[in-house]
Amino acid sequence: MSSIVSLPDQATARIPKRNYITNENGLMSWLLTGDHKRIAMLYLISITFFFFIGGALAGLIRLELLTPQSDLMASDTYNKIFTMHGVVMIFLFLVPSVPATLGNFLIPIMVGAKDLAFPKINLLSWYLYLVGGGMTLYAMINGGVDTGWTFTTPMSTHFSNTNVVTTGLAIFVAGFSSIFTGLNFIVTIHRMRAPGMTWFKLPLFCWAHYAASILMVLGTPVLAITLVLVVLERTIGIGVFDPTKGGDPILFQHLFWFYSHPAVYIMILPGMGVISEVISTFSRKRVFGYTAVAFSSVAIAVFGFFVWAHHMFIMGVSNYAVLVFSLLTMLVAVPSAIKIFNWAFTLYKGSITFETPMLYAFGFMGLFTIGGLTGVFLGSAGTDIHLTETYFIVAHFHFVMVGGMLMAFLSGVHFWWPKMTGRMYPEKISQLAAVVTFIGFNFTFFPQFLVGMLGMPRRYAAYPQEFQVLNVFSTAGASILGVGYLLPIIYLIWSLKYGEIAGNNPWQATGLEWQIQSPPLTENFTTIPIVTQDVYDYEWLERQKEHEVTHVG
Amino acid sequence: MGLSPVIWQFLVKWMVNFAIIPPEASKIAPQVDALLVFMTLVSLVGLVLVGLLITGFSIIYRRDKNPVATQIEGSTLLEATWTIIPLGLFLVMFVWGSVLYFRIYTPPPNAMNIYVVGKQWMWKAEHPGGQHEINSLHVPNDRPIQLTLISQDVFHSFSIPAFRVKREAIPGRYTTVWFEATTPGTYHLFCTQYCGTQHSGMIGEIVVQTPEEYKRWLAGSTSGISLAQNGERLFASLSCNACHNGQPDARGPSLADVYGSKLMLTSGSPVLVDEAYLRQAILNPSAHITQGYAPIMPTYQGQISEEGIISLVEYIKNLSSNYRVQQTLNTSTLLPEQPDKPSGKAAGAQGVTKP
Amino acid sequence: MSDSHAIAAHDPHAEGHAAHPPYQRHHFVSMEQQTETTSFGMWLFLLTEIMFFGGLFTAYLIYRNWYYPAFVAASHTLDIKLGAFNTLLLITSSFTMAMGVWCSETKRKAGLIWSLIATLILGLGFLGIKAVEYHEKYVKDHIPGHAFPGHAFSPQGFIHPDEEALKGGEKVLAPDMAAKTEVYFSLYFAMTGMHAVHMIIGIVLLCGMLIKALRGGYMDGHIAFVENFGLYWHFVDIVWIFLFPLLYLISRH
């Protein structure tokens, strides 16, 4: 199997002495840095930490569900575990995963700037994330929360005896981390593009982050105010969601889902940006239908704001409201389909290799297709009645979030690992990990579609005997999946010391980030580039290889 | 359905036997399953198509075989194709699903109404004849049954997978769903909206019986007093009849035949008097004042349980004249046939408690 | 071969550091980029603030529609004179802030300092009057829920209004509608409370600016902070201009 990897001669190659990691020494230089690349690395460590906490919680869930009875732990404990799993995975892992690590690292370089627009706010963003994460951990240790990550009122305001206020405030703080990241991205992309970098020369990674940032900036504040109201209702008893005082719990649902639906697009769009970059690099050609993919990203963001009530179809909202939201949900599914086909056709007449990032990208395409199509099952109101609130929903969102987003994240981490660290990861074991993850994932989550179709409700600690076989399958798959996620941690850390030296452009890819050294200088470029060639211009790259051109920086 | 009924029956039986779908026990279930099958087929085709494209292109254009990529900008024709075809399919699913949705949530006028109150962590069903059940629901088959749901505390969700229906039970307002069971048997009842510690314990059974069995069950489970009769007692004990006595100069409007009518409010707009309106009128009377009357009705918020409200609503629903209230209540169709059983001797009214 | 390349040699620093002012951050290529970027960022941030308050406005619109008589009666318990005066204070403070921005742009040190002091005093005055109003609500048991022992929310004043209120045209509310005034007050405190939090943040920043101005700051052209703070202050003012009629002026004759 051929490979496009092109590394410098390992005998003589060295990591460039001056780079963003060696530029300054000492803990304080990291903790007070304004360098977007260092902040990205700080985020990478933090979100990995929270990912494993969320993953451990998932392991406990699957262990409990091996048997129909609630025997491993008390029901209350189980309720807290799935709540914390949701909170940690969504707010502390998925939302910041690609934007805060890869986005932070790459967007300034991709647009040709020396840093994001507001480096200090970027650092503040990380600290807010840590505070939010710390408060969540505190809530966990202090007894957990058992309302479900959706904080449904009146359960969260009047009936739960757990740390709702702490967790609500934790998410409030983490939300601002997200808002500031999005704000930084939008301003950077608008105002700091290098000369010649027009909108349609931007890599699709930037378009995807731009769209996600619009959602972050406009949607997250609504979650913030909703959480404030929940905290106020729980602490001093204002009655905005309390039916006995004239409030309406359905109002909470509207306000909550107004953010939380766009949130899922905040989570997936950056991942889609990664896929665009990876598929084009490993097919050696421009993404098919660049303009369509760029506009689809923005379309998903815009439409994504108008579909929130599809989480409320059975809650007694008016039938006519359901019609409107169901129709809009069908519309928002179309741009995602467009993207999948465009990526597939990028392969047409390409020159394809199967390095690890590409394997993860293929996994993404298959699993996201399944996840997305099952979303259509749910967007159609009549079938939603049967399928909602069952394991079908759980399977649906895990397919798009884990099969989709997490695979995209891993694809991106592997793809840009040589750029960020200067070293290559070991290819064979990483390909193995990708395959193991894919198999484990399908074993874990596909049975959940079946058991949900049969009616098994979600958030159940105990379930009828007849659902056990499928649950055992699912747990078995989860153990395989766990291995698939542990392997990268091990070999990526290993590669920091023992990985091959990568050089500037191990993938022979286009894009400004591959024209500079690995790891990059703190200021990215010694001189601001003037962009003249097209994005994904592999023809230019081929010509360049024929005539040796020296790089600057 | 475009598919021969024989093939369809075979397909369904196969799917039920292989535990892919729950048994179909209601009239709407096959219709929902038809859409589910359509969606599954479309998804399979879509997935296979994407899979073939990826695998096919990966094999044909792998680097060993195709070292130089051909740069292609795109193709407007292809873009249009894979925009319009998915959109078209999704719109078909939208229309089909919406039709099903309206069908499931628009009860026929002749549906028999059963009230269900959800609370942490049990379901309480109240049949009009006064039968009460906990965590189970007996219904006759081949008859439209409407469920009027409400929660006493947090959100719950009443789910019957075999019927393909589900509805949230919300504190503060009624929600409704209806079904027509087709096959006698026992089916799962689940609470599917997370509601706290015993959420997974809030399960039960739906017992579908033939009409004869159902009649026998009704007779055996009755408390001797129907919901409406209980409501009648509450109406008196809560002094509702002080103002709503049907006299022309009464302080409150007459309630005879008010259910189902269009009432004109002081705001000038009419409102349909259904269960939801009656419940609101008892708990939040000042929100909607009948034209020609002063806003003097006191609220009963906090003084009456959801079961009490249900009894009052049932009473008002069955009220066709104010003359000698007890006599006008036509209870014979509500209670099961009871030869030689004395009536109306139930001890006291049920439902006047703090929730 | 064509000379298309990504990176050209072009080094502004080759002419020496005098090419840009000392307060230009090094990741910006020009002062113009820095100013435009910071300004754009501020406007975007204000957009997020609009979304933040938007949730409260949505809740307000729905509940006002459902419980109009309660909203009317509750709104009439707010002192319209104090509210109007507060509005005047805030609008004036926006003017003085605008003056401050102009002074910093035209390098008028004394003008800037006095403008900032005036804005600060007006802002503090606003908060002071708000405190008076909140205290009045506390005394009348209009604070929703059970925040303060002994002063739990009580709608009695709406069920049995006193002589003065009745003479003023207030209607008696039925108990269930009177109970809904708690919803009004919940929104009143949430909305004005959030607004006050933003005012407090603004005042803290204002103090910081004042100290820096007293020490001679903002006279060298590095006035982005003043300009962007001005935007923030105007935004807080505009929020109040929406809050005032929505909360104070329901059906006043």
Residue B269 in contact with partner chain C when CB distance is under 8 A: no
Query: Are C145 and A237 an interchain contact pair (Cβ–Cβ within 8 Å)?
Result: yes
Nearest chain C CA: its distance from A237 CA (Å)? 4
- 3-class secondary-structure state, position A390: strand
Query: Are A533 and C5 an interchain contact pair (Cβ–Cβ within 8 Å)?
Result: yes
Query: Are C41 and A117 an interchain contact pair (Cβ–Cβ within 8 Å)?
Result: yes
Residue C42 structure tokens: 């501020």
CA B258 – CA B262 distance, rounded (Å):
8
- 3-class secondary-structure state, position A35: coil
Residue C75 structure tokens: 């709104």
Give the per-residue pLDDT at A546. 72
Residue A76 structure tokens: 């209350």
CA A205 – CA A108 distance, rounded (Å):
12
Asked whether residue B269 carries a pLDDT value surpassing 80, the answer given is yes
Which residue from A187, A529, A547 is facing C37, i.e. has the nearest CB?
A: A187
Contacts C176 to B, Cβ<8 Å:
283-287, 298-299, 301
The predicted-structure confidence for A149-202, as pLDDT tens digits, reads as follows 999 999 999 999 999 999 999 999 999 999 999 999 999 999 999 999 999 999
Contacts C173 to B, Cβ<8 Å:
286
Q: Kindly identify which residue of chain A lies nearest to residue B86, measuring between CA atoms.
A: A334
Contacts B165 to A, Cβ<8 Å:
385-386
User: Residue C84 belongs to a domain with what CATH number?
Assistant: 1.20.120.80
Asked whether residue B341 carries a pLDDT value surpassing 50, the answer given is no
Nearest chain B CA: its distance from A123 CA (Å)? 38
Query: Are C174 and B297 an interchain contact pair (Cβ–Cβ within 8 Å)?
Result: yes
The predicted-structure confidence for B282-309, as pLDDT tens digits, reads as follows 998 888 888 888 888 888 888 899 999 9
Q: Kindly identify which residue of chain B lies nearest to residue A77, measuring between CA atoms.
A: B197
Q: What percentage of chain A's residues is helix, strand, coil (to nearest 5)?
A: 70, 0, 30
CA A124 – CA A18 distance, rounded (Å):
26
Query: Are B296 and C175 an interchain contact pair (Cβ–Cβ within 8 Å)?
Result: no
CA A270 – CA A112 distance, rounded (Å):
19
Average pLDDT (A355-379) is 97
- For A548, counting Cβ atoms within 10 Å of its Cβ (0-12 exposed, 13-18 middle, 19+ buried), the class is exposed
Nearest chain C CA: its distance from A69 CA (Å)? 41
Of the candidates A394, A400, A344, the residue with the CA atom closest to the CA atom of residue A371: A400
Helices and strands: H and E segment counts in chain C: 9, 0
- 3-class secondary-structure state, position A423: strand
In a domain, C129, yes or no: yes
Contacts C28 to A, Cβ<8 Å:
192
Cis status of the peptide bond prior to A99, with omega within 30 of 0:
no
CATH number for the domain running over A30-546: 1.20.210.10
Question: Beta strand B175-180 with B262-264: parallel, antiparallel or unpaired?
Answer: unpaired
Contacts by A319-327 with C-beta closer than 8 Å and gap 24+? A319/B101, A319/B102, A319/B105, A319/B106, A322/A381, A322/B98, A322/B101, A323/A381, A323/B98, A326/A379, A326/A380, A326/A381, A326/B94, A326/B97, A326/B98, A326/B101, A327/B94
pTM of the model: 0.92
Q: Kindly identify which residue of chain C lies nearest to residue A234, measuring between CA atoms.
A: C145
Answer whether A225's CB lies under 8 Å from C56's CB. yes
Which chains have at least 3 CB atom pairs separated by less than 8 Å from chain B? A, C
Nearest chain A CA: its distance from B17 CA (Å)? 12
Answer whether A230's CB lies under 8 Å from A252's CB. yes
Which residue from B82, B165, B191 is facing A341, i.e. has the nearest CB?
A: B82
Nearest chain C CA: its distance from B198 CA (Å)? 29
Give the per-residue pLDDT at C157. 86
CA A477 – CA A55 distance, rounded (Å):
14
Q: Kindly identify which residue of chain B lies nearest to residue C65, measuring between CA atoms.
A: B287
- In the CATH scheme, what is the homologous superfamily, with its name and number, of domain B112-221? Cupredoxins -  blue copper proteins (2.60.40.420)
Asked whether residue A1 carries a pLDDT value surpassing 80, the answer given is no
Query: Are A380 and B93 an interchain contact pair (Cβ–Cβ within 8 Å)?
Result: yes
CA B244 – CA A131 distance, rounded (Å):
60
Q: What residue spans in chain B does CATH classification 2.60.40.420 cover?
A: 112-221
- In the CATH scheme, what is the homologous superfamily, with its name and number, of domain B231-328? Cytochrome c-like domain (1.10.760.10)
Which residue from C67, C69, C174 is facing B296, i.e. has the nearest CB?
A: C174
CA B211 – CA C210 distance, rounded (Å):
84
List, in sequence order, every residue forming a beta bridge with B176; answer none if it has no partner.
B148
CA B56 – CA B66 distance, rounded (Å):
13
Give the rounded distance of the alpha carbon of A50 from its chain centre: 13
Asked whether residue C2 carries a pLDDT value surpassing 50, the answer given is no
Give the per-residue pLDDT at B338. 46
Give the rounded distance of the alpha carbon of C188 from its chain centre: 15
Q: Kindly identify which residue of chain C lies nearest to residue B301, measuring between CA atoms.
A: C176
Q: What residue spans in chain B does CATH classification 1.10.760.10 cover?
A: 231-328
Asked whether residue B350 carries a pLDDT value surpassing 80, the answer given is no
Answer whether A293's CB lies under 8 Å from A342's CB. yes
Contacts A326 to B, Cβ<8 Å:
94, 97-98, 101
Give the per-residue pLDDT at B294. 84
Nearest chain C CA: its distance from B279 CA (Å)? 13
Whole-number mean pLDDT of chain B? 87
Residue B128 — pLDDT band, cuts 50, 70, 90?
A: confident
Quickly tell me which residue has 């209540």 as its tokens: B329
Residue B168 in contact with partner chain A when CB distance is under 8 A: yes
List, in sequence order, every residue forming a beta bridge with B208; answer none if it has no partner.
B139, B185
Which chains have at least 3 CB atom pairs separated by less than 8 Å from chain A? B, C
Query: Are A385 and B32 an interchain contact pair (Cβ–Cβ within 8 Å)?
Result: yes
The more confidently predicted of residues C12 and A197 is A197
Interface test with B, best of A77, A383, A448, A536 (most B CBs within 10 A): A383
Query: Are A192 and C37 an interchain contact pair (Cβ–Cβ within 8 Å)?
Result: yes
Give the rounded distance of the alpha carbon of C209 from its chain centre: 18
Asked whether residue C67 carries a pLDDT value surpassing 80, the answer given is yes
Give the per-residue pLDDT at C5. 34
% pLDDT > 70, chain B:
89
Query: Are A326 and B94 an interchain contact pair (Cβ–Cβ within 8 Å)?
Result: yes
Residue C6 — pLDDT band, cuts 50, 70, 90?
A: very low
The predicted-structure confidence for B206-221, as pLDDT tens digits, reads as follows 999 999 999 999 988 8
Average pLDDT (A232-245) is 91
Residue C175 structure tokens: 């108990």
CB pairs under 8 A between A and C: 158
Interface test with C, best of A122, A197, A223, A236 (most C CBs within 10 A): A236
| Domain tally, chain C | 1
DSSP-assigned states of every residue in A49-88: HHHHHHHHHHHHHHHHTTSSSS-SS-HHHHHHHHHHHHHI
Question: Beta strand B270-272 with B204-209: parallel, antiparallel or unpaired?
Answer: unpaired
Asked whether residue B277 carries a pLDDT value surpassing 60, the answer given is yes
Instruction: Domain ranges for chain A, please list them.
Output: 30-546
Instruction: Report CA torsion sign: C92, C96, C97, C99.
Output: positive
Region of poorest pLDDT, from A144-153, A319-328, A539-548, C188-197: A539-548
Note which residues in 125-184 of chain C have CB less than 8 A from chain B: 173-177, 179
Query: Are A236 and C146 an interchain contact pair (Cβ–Cβ within 8 Å)?
Result: yes
Average pLDDT (A117-140) is 97
**Helix-helix angle A75-87:A36-64, to 10 degrees:** 160
DSSP-assigned states of every residue in A275-336: HHHHHHHHHTSPPTTHHHHHHHHHHHHHHHTT-GGGG-TTTT--HHHHHHHHHHHHHHHHHH
Residue B338 in contact with partner chain C when CB distance is under 8 A: no
Residue B353 — pLDDT band, cuts 50, 70, 90?
A: very low
Average pLDDT (C114-123) is 96
- CB contact set of A32 (below 8 Å; sequence gap of 6+): A123
Interface test with A, best of C1, C4, C7, C228 (most A CBs within 10 A): C7
Give the per-residue pLDDT at C236. 97
Whole-number mean pLDDT of chain A? 94
Contacts A160 to B, Cβ<8 Å:
196
Residue B3 — pLDDT band, cuts 50, 70, 90?
A: low
Asked whether residue A32 carries a pLDDT value surpassing 90, the answer given is yes
The predicted-structure confidence for B87-105, as pLDDT tens digits, reads as follows 999 999 999 999 999 999 9
DSSP-assigned states of every residue in A428-497: HHHHHHHHHHHHHHHHHHHHHHHHHHTTPBSS-SS--GGGHHHHHHHHHHHHHHHHHHHHHHHHHHHHHH
Region of poorest pLDDT, from A392-396, A482-486, A541-545, C22-26: A541-545
Region of poorest pLDDT, from A256-260, A443-447, B190-194, C26-30: C26-30
Nearest chain A CA: its distance from B210 CA (Å)? 25
Of the candidates A180, A214, A202, the residue with the CA atom closest to the CA atom of residue A100: A180
Nearest chain A CA: its distance from C104 CA (Å)? 23
**If you ran DSSP here, which 8-state letter would residue A501 be given?**
B
Residue B343 — pLDDT band, cuts 50, 70, 90?
A: very low
* SS3 letters across chain B: CCCCHHHHHHHHHHHHHCCCCCCCCECCHHHHHHHHHHHHHHHHHHHHHHHHHHHHHHHHCECCCCCCCCCCCCCHHHHHHHHHHHHHHHHHHHHHHHHHHHHHHCCCCCCEEEEEEEECCEEEEECCCCCEEECEEEEECCCEEEEEEEECCCCEEEEEHHHCEEEEECECCCEEEEEEECCCEEEEEEECCCCCCCHHHCCEEEEEECHHHHHHHHHHHCCCCCHHHHHHHHHHHCCHHHCCCCCCCCCCCCCCCCCCCEEEECCCCEEECCHHHHHHHHHCHHHCCECCCCCCCCCCCCCCCHHHHHHHHHHHHCCCCCCCHHHHCCCCCCCCCCCCCCCCCCCCCCCCCCC
Asked whether residue B322 carries a pLDDT value surpassing 90, the answer given is no
Asked whether residue B347 carries a pLDDT value surpassing 50, the answer given is no
What is the value of ipTM here, to two decimals? 0.93
Query: Are A239 and C4 an interchain contact pair (Cβ–Cβ within 8 Å)?
Result: no
